[in-house]
Amino acid sequence: MSVISVQDLSKSYRVFTKRAGLRASISGLFHRQYKTVHAVDKVSFEVAKGEMVAFLGPNGAGKTTTLKLLAGLIYPTGGAARVLSHIPWKRENVYRRRFSLVMGQKNQLWWDLPAQESFLLHKEIYRIEPETFRNRLDELTTLLDVRDLVGQPVRELSLGERMRMELIAALLHGPDVLLLDEPTIGLDVVSQRRVQEFLRQYQTDRKITVLLTSHYMKDVEALCQRAIIINEGRIIHDGSLADVVDRFSTHKVIDLQFAGAELPANLDQYGTVVERRPPRVKLEVPRNDIPRVLNELLSNYSIEDVGVKDRPLEEVIAELFSRHRSSPKQHDSQPATVPESSTE
């Protein structure tokens, strides 16, 4: 049974539009013009218990809006959603005790007090038994390596330490569903990795259901097997993360090591040279041309080593987003969700 079930969920905003200039500002006092922005447009998906799903998309795609809908922060314009059998925007306390929303750019801890004061407040708000609270706090502070920092005012913590405290606050009540919005935004590489490792271990141990948005593909690759890609409010992919590359990457990379120290001069005819370090070279080649190009290269040149790789997920996603940005209507013709079997 699905823990998160979303059908045709929509959220539209009426947004004030203003032309540039003083005259437009003055006329805007009397005649306001609005446009409707469909932040989330008939989105449907299901998430099973214990799944960790990446929710990907460019800025303004509707990822955070969807998370806010599932957290009951905002009301939808249409459609339906159930999380743990609850309608989120009813904001029943019994539901609010079973999920957590962590937003990387928002602080929910008391700024001027040590994090332990916020934790104690959470203990009461979420009605956590004293022994459970002690055990969880002990476990989480150990896992996240912040045991010595809980007595320090939050304002004096680094961004990475603060985010780890935020995660503790979000997990103290043992939520069944965790909604993570850019949890590693702004963190350095070490802090990012620590948060990633913690989330992976915690999710594996507890089998909680996680929906994660992140612009860091390293987060996504480290944590999620399934990805939902959303753009302009609509889902354009819902399937395994590996399929994202298969489906949306039109090219592969051939890694060649030539026998001599010199590289042939006419490699451009086979594809785009993306890296040239004699005797090695990397060629980006259309997927359909791979057999032909490999055949010709191996026939015409003396090659010591060869490998064919997918392009990095980060590049594929970046290209996909920029493709949709340059042709915004393109996705309209695609089905809202594409079954995995329909990939190229």
Partner 1 sequence: MMNSVRVNWIILRTCVEERLVYRADFAFATLVRFLPIVTQIFLWRAIYGKDPNTQLNTYTYSNMVAYYLMAMLGRAFSSMPGLASGIARDVRDGSIKKYLTQPVDMLGYLFWHRVAHKLVYYFVAAVPFAFVFFMCRDYFDGWPDGWTVSAWILSLLLAFLIGFLLESLIGLISFWFLEVSSLLFIYMMFNYFLSGHMIPLDWLPSPLSDWVRLLPFKYLAYFPAAIMLRRPDGTPRYSHEELASELQMEMCWVVLLLIANRIAFARGVRRYGAFGG
Taking the complex as a whole, the smallest distance from the CB of residue 57 to partner 1 amounts, in Å, to: 16
- Judged by CB under 8 A, which of 108, 152, 240, 343 binds partner 1? 108
Q: Which two tokens stand for residue 242?
A: 């590996």
C-alpha span between 52 and 243 (Å, rounded): 16
Q: How many residues bind partner 1 (CB under 8 A)?
A: 32
- Judged by CB under 8 A, which of 5, 10, 13, 44 binds partner 1? 13
Q: Which two tokens stand for residue 4?
A: 């998160």
Q: Which is nearer to partner 1, 35 or 329 (CB)?
A: 35
Taking the complex as a whole, the smallest distance from the CB of residue 97 to partner 1 amounts, in Å, to: 5
Taking the complex as a whole, the smallest distance from the CB of residue 53 to partner 1 amounts, in Å, to: 19
Taking the complex as a whole, the smallest distance from the CB of residue 229 to partner 1 amounts, in Å, to: 22
Q: Which of residues 198-257 bind partner 1 (CB under 8 A)?
A: none
Q: Which is nearer to partner 1, 54 or 172 (CB)?
A: 172
User: Greatest CA separation found in the chain?
Assistant: 75
Q: Which is nearer to partner 1, 120 or 263 (CB)?
A: 120
Q: Which is nearer to partner 1, 164 or 226 (CB)?
A: 164
Place of tokens 């057999």: 291
Nearest Cα to Cα of residue 38 among 19, 15, 54, 16: 15
Indicate the SS3 state at residue 45: strand
- Mask 248-287, x = binds partner 1 (CB under 8 A)? ----------------------------------------
Does 301 participate in binding partner 1 (rule CB under 8 A)? no
Q: Which of residues 118-147 bind partner 1 (CB under 8 A)?
A: 118, 120-122, 124-127
Tally of helices (H runs) and strands (E runs) in the chain: 11, 13
Does 87 participate in binding partner 1 (rule CB under 8 A)? no
- CA distances (Å), origin 230, targets 59, 62, 79, 98, 159: 10, 7, 17, 26, 28
Does 93 participate in binding partner 1 (rule CB under 8 A)? yes
C-alpha span between 57 and 254 (Å, rounded): 28
- Mask 17-56, x = binds partner 1 (CB under 8 A)? ----------------------------------------
> Cβ(141)–Cβ(150) under 8 Å?
yes
Q: Which two tokens stand for residue 48?
A: 């099973």
Taking the complex as a whole, the smallest distance from the CB of residue 175 to partner 1 amounts, in Å, to: 11
Nearest Cα to Cα of residue 83 among 95, 73, 74: 95
C-alpha span between 43 and 58 (Å, rounded): 16
Sequence-distant (≥ 6) Cβ neighbours of residue 159 within 8 angstroms: 186, 187, 191
Taking the complex as a whole, the smallest distance from the CB of residue 266 to partner 1 amounts, in Å, to: 52
Q: Which two tokens stand for residue 112?
A: 């001027």
State the residues that interact with partner 1 by CB under 8 A.
13, 64, 68, 71-75, 91, 93, 96-97, 99-101, 103, 105-106, 108, 110, 112-113, 117-118, 120-122, 124-127, 153
